[in-house]
Structure 1
Amino acid sequence: MVEGTKSSVWQSYRYPIMLLICIALGAIIGILMGKDAEALKPFGDIFINMMFTIVVPLVFVNISSAVANIVDLKRLGKILGVMLAVFVITGIISSILMLVGVSIFPPAEGIKVELQAPEEINQLNTADQFVQAFTVSNFSDILSRKNMLALIVFSILFGLSVSLAGEKGRKVAEGLHALSEVMIKMIKLLMYYAPIGLGAYFANLVGVFGPDLLGSYARAMAIYYPISFLYFLLAFTIYAYLAMGKGAPRLFWKHAISPAVTSFATGSSVATIPVNLAATEKIGVPKDVREIVIPFGATAHMDGSCLSAILKISFIFGLFNMPFHGLDTYLTAIMIAVLSGVVMSGVPGGGFIGEMLIVTMYGFPPEALPIIAMLGTLVDPPATMVNATGDTVASMMVARIVDGKEWMKKKILGQEETASM
């Protein structure tokens, strides 16, 4: 009986355990080799490139298929509305948590840098940022992972058009569904290489950036890492419980490990989309919900980036000897944090867009940008982990609101009916 239990545990957690072992080995190799570990980077790049290659057709096919096969368009509108509400609310919660942290432990305290503060805080019209985030001027630009939000908008409109075409669109909808199944099979093939690729990538990450962790940004790092992991463990457990009840946290963490370690090692929410889709399928999130929430969340749901945005704002205020307190200051910071999270792209280094927004919106001089960009680089691994894993639990919350508190039971009943046929 004990052996059977051990076997069951191993079967359930075998792949996440393999990932974690390879990540740990990569970290050890990175520490031992130092900057020489950069020689292993190509092995990690192979995995990242394969994931990036598949992500554009995957997102288009899955979202278009999900929307095209939704018979009730009111359900589509409800999914999108609830999804955006969940994204904004969780972003605000994460921002408030970091606000509490930086208020107690100011990240720039004790740092002496001669910088001239801006004479006034500038206000930025972000209309251009929204236009560029959600649309492109040429169709060829849609086929790039750098324009994920535009691709998602196009995919939703395409799927909606297929649905509205009625009977004439059914063959297209069926074709999209078949392509979706093929793409999932392709993902499973690519994931066989994931332990090697992620281990090599993480060895490079630790070897190259490890020494910088002990530099002048140590205090800010010491604030961000514990708070981000606290939010990761505590908030996501609560969200999972709210989504599904008593057994949800255990089910969530059982399947969330793979997206978490993948995003932590790669620094990319977009590269984690295939892993996240597989995880949410195992959790039981309805197909239409997960295939809309996960891709969209990779670029527009960034709790970890909201955490880091508040840290960066507080850090830069401290460097310029400007007071960071008061309700107006806090509300503005939360607004910028959530906004910067929405306009960020889900690729490594994508936080640079959010950092530009912070500097521009507050009117800081150009030299402020590389200062917070470096901070963004150092906190990127846990920030991306929170971003990507947050999509997993967000899909569960959307399913809870859209399908009611019995959504998981409906899924189980559906599986039982399928098995009995």
Structure 2
Amino acid sequence: MKSFFWKWQKMSLVKRIIVGLIIGILLAVAFGDQLSWITLLGTLFVSALKSIAPYLVFILVITAIAMHEKGKKTNMKTIIGFYAVGTVGAAASAVIFSFLFPSTLHLKEGNQQAVSAPGGISEVITNLLNNIVSNPITALTEGNYIGILAWALVIGVAAKSANDQMKSVIQSASDIVSKVVKWVIDLAPFGIMGIVYTAVATTGIASLKEYGQLLIVLVSCMLFVTLVMNPLIVFVTTHRNPYPLIFISLRESGVTAFFTRSSAANIPVNLELCRKLGLNKDTYAVSIPLGAAVNTAGAAVTITILSLAAANTLDISVDIPTAIVLAIVSSISAAGASGIAGGSLLLIPLACSLFGIPSEIAMQVVAAGFIIGVVQDSCETAVNSHSDIVFTAAAEYMQERKNK
């Protein structure tokens, strides 16, 4: 047993996750949904990640700001620019895919979800501002990453003037929380085994068939963003082959994000990958949690394609200028999407309002989104989360090129 444990620990995390995936699928095929304790493994893993991530982000950002030396560049302006370009570009790609491959929905009476969607773009912005000034304790307990970032930045700036002894305490706290996160991440193979077991054993594939074309368009557009648009951005700005970075971020960040379906839960995974890539900790300690909140290319694709599918279903003609406005609104709205599974779907009524689609019909579109969510939301989260790594690394590579 000791020898087996040693060999298991010597394997890379990716290989261990693949083993967990295979075992989860085999158990689901063999036993169906009878093994509830395996489902519990997935639930506990995601809950542990979601529980520790806010505190890790809070202490890492404070540490990064407090320990930052004057004159030391962090590339944050470049990264924020990448996030904005990536999200708007994804929304524009979604418009093009929707025009090339128009999709429709099967809207039915009584299919609305009992959820509350924002009433307009001003409400989205107001919610963001309210989240920024949220009580810091409330922000930590509720996983409000905008509020966590805002307060961590303020406290970090204040801590810059602290004495060396206090800064040593802050650094020690950061090291302790980081070690706890590493322990949680080491449990990923068992957690993902539980997640994939539950998905295979309980999700009905038949319910996805009538939305086949829509799913194909959604997934194809996200693949285009991941394998064409983002690499192009990286290549143009860094003059490097982007695909080694793309593939390692997909393998080590995209896989876990796909199954946890939460950018917030994937923050510790991304921070660990940044460390392994040797990136600047002062930068990624801020850029990764910020990306989980506002770098939402996958969400922009979902909002745009489902809104245009609703317009096609209702025979509403959408011209190019309106489509451009939709892409911009979708990008801004996506930045306000919740960090939980399915958060982007609640912003579809806002985008649909551009076409004069009433809220009761728009909420049926949201309901259709939940039906295909088992695939759509997983792909969306993988796109969102892995690109945080891609753009953080690209900004550093770009700076290295300029310094040569």
Which band: TM-score by shorter chain? 0.7 to 0.9
- Secondary structure at 2:360 match in 1: coil
Across the two proteins, how many residue pairs are aligned to each other? Answer: 384
Q: 2:133 aligns with which of 100, 120, 135?
A: 135
* 1:80-95 mapped onto 2 (5 Å cutoff): 80-95=76-91
Distance in 1 of aligned mates of 2:35 and 2:87: 35
* 1:160-309 mapped onto 2 (5 Å cutoff): 160-163=157-160, 165=161, 168-212=162-206, 214-242=208-236, 244-246=238-240, 249-254=243-248, 256-309=250-303
Corresponding residue number in structure 1 for 2:54: 56
User: Would the alpha carbon gap of residues 101 and 255 (structure 1) be closer, same or farther in structure 2, given more than 3 Å must change?
Assistant: closer
Corresponding residue number in structure 2 for 1:349: 342
User: Would the alpha carbon gap of residues 123 and 236 (structure 1) be closer, same or farther in structure 2, given more than 3 Å must change?
Assistant: closer
1:394 aligns with 2:375: no
Alignment RMSD (CA, Å): 3.0
User: Would the alpha carbon gap of residues 124 and 62 (structure 1) be closer, same or farther in structure 2, given more than 3 Å must change?
Assistant: closer
| Aligned-pair CA distance for 1:345 | 2.2
Q: Which amino acid aligns with 2:323?
A: Y
| Aligned-pair CA distance for 1:362 | 5.2
Distance in 1 of aligned mates of 2:178 and 2:328: 37
Corresponding residue number in structure 2 for 1:330: 323
1:159 aligns with 2:156: yes
| Aligned-pair CA distance for 1:199 | 1.5
| Aligned-pair CA distance for 1:349 | 2.7
* 1:15-94 mapped onto 2 (5 Å cutoff): 15-30=13-28, 40-72=38-70, 75=73, 79-94=75-90
Contact 1:256-1:279 within 8 A present in 2 as well: no
| Aligned-pair CA distance for 1:67 | 1.3
Which runs of no fewer than 5 residues in structure 2 stay unpaired? 1-7, 111-118
Distance in 2 of aligned mates of 1:391 and 1:13: 26
Corresponding residue number in structure 2 for 1:104: 100
TM-score when normalising by structure 1 = 0.81
TM-score when normalising by structure 2 = 0.85
Matched-pair identity in %: 18
- List per-residue Cα deviations over 1:88-113 (Å, max 9, x = no partner): 1001111122211111111117x576
User: Would the alpha carbon gap of residues 57 and 27 (structure 1) be closer, same or farther in structure 2, given more than 3 Å must change?
Assistant: same
- Secondary structure at 2:359 match in 1: coil
Contact 1:359-1:366 within 8 A present in 2 as well: no
Distance in 1 of aligned mates of 2:393 and 2:316: 41
Contact 2:91-2:330 within 8 A present in 1 as well: yes
- Secondary structure at 1:72 match in 2: coil
Q: Which amino acid aligns with 2:41?
A: F
- Secondary structure at 1:405 match in 2: helix
Contact 2:306-2:365 within 8 A present in 1 as well: no
User: Would the alpha carbon gap of residues 255 and 338 (structure 1) be closer, same or farther in structure 2, given more than 3 Å must change?
Assistant: closer
Distance in 1 of aligned mates of 2:381 and 2:107: 30
Q: Which amino acid aligns with 2:362?
A: A
User: Would the alpha carbon gap of residues 39 and 336 (structure 1) be closer, same or farther in structure 2, given more than 3 Å must change?
Assistant: farther
Which runs of no fewer than 5 residues in structure 1 stay unpaired? 1-9, 116-121, 410-421
- List per-residue Cα deviations over 1:19-55 (Å, max 9, x = no partner): 1232244345445655657763221011011111111
Q: Which amino acid aligns with 1:307?
A: V
